[in-house]
C-alpha cells in the first residue's frame, strides 16, 4: 500500500448550465478513473459529528459535496491533508490505502460517494495502528 495523500486530487466535473439550473454528469472511466459499482450518500449528519475513520485496501472513491460543505482529512501514515468540499461539480478522488475522516458538515450537507467496488467489510481497515503498520515499507 504505497499510495500517499498526494495521489488524491480534486476532479473538476462538467457543469451543464441553463437558466433552470445545472446538471453534472459522472460516468465510469470518463469523469472517474474506475468502473462505478456503487453509489451512496451521507445526509442528516448532526453538527459536530464526523464520519469515516477508516481506510480501504482496494476501494477507489469519488467524494462529492452534492449539497453544502464538509472537510475530508486524508492520511497516509506520514502525511496529512485536509480538503474542503463545497461545490457539487468538484469531486475528491480518494485512492486505496488512505485513512480518511469527514467532518465539519454544514447543516443539510449531502456527501455523495461513488465507488469502484460493492460494499465489502473485509476491504475496511478500521484500526488506525493496524493501518499505520500496513503502510510501513515491507
Ligand atoms: P461506514 O462505511 O462505517 O460509514 P462512514 O464511513 O460513513 O462513517 O458504514 C456505516 C454502516 O453502514 C456500516 O454498518 C456498514 C453500512 N454500509 C453498508 O451496508 N453498505 C455500504 O455501502 C456502506 C458505505 C455502509
Index of the ligand 1 atom closest to the CA of residue 121: 15
Give the CATH number of domain 5-135.
Answer: 2.60.120.10
- Domain boundaries along the sequence of the chain: 5-135
- 0.95 cut: is pTM over it? yes
Mean pLDDT rounded to a whole number for the chain: 97
Q: How far is the CA of 125 from the centre of ligand 1 (A)?
A: 13
Query: Is position 117 annotated as part of the catalytic site?
Result: no
Q: Give ligand 1 pocket residues (Cβ under 6 A).
A: 38, 40, 42, 51-52, 119
Question: What's the whole-number mean pLDDT along residues 106-130?
Answer: 98
Which of these, 58, 64, 54, lies nearest to 88 by C-alpha position? 64
pLDDT tier, 138 (very low <50, low <70, confident <90, very high otherwise): confident
Amino acid at each position: 500500500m504505497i499510495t500517499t495523500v498526494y495521489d488524491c486530487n480534486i476532479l473538476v466535473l462538467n457543469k451543464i448550465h441553463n437558466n433552470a439550473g445545472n446538471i453534472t454528469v459522472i460516468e465510469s472511466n470518463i469523469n472517474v478513473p474506475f468502473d462505478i459499482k456503487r453509489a451512496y450518500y451521507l445526509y442528516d449528519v448532526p453538527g459536530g459529528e464526523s464520519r469515516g475513520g477508516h481506510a480501504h485496501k482496494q476501494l477507489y472513491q469519488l467524494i462529492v459535496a452534492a449539497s453544502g460543505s464538509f472537510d475530508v482529512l486524508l492520511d497516509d501514515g506520514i502525511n496529512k491533508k485536509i480538503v474542503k468540499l463545497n461545490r457539487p461539480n468538484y469531486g475528491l478522488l480518494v485512492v486505496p490505502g488512505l485513512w480518511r475522516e469527514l467532518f465539519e458538515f454544514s447543516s443539510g450537507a449531502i456527501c455523495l460517494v461513488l465507488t469502484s467496488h460493492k460494499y465489502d467489510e473485509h476491504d475496511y481497515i478500521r484500526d488506525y495502528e493496524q493501518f499505520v503498520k500496513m503502510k510501513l515499507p515491507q
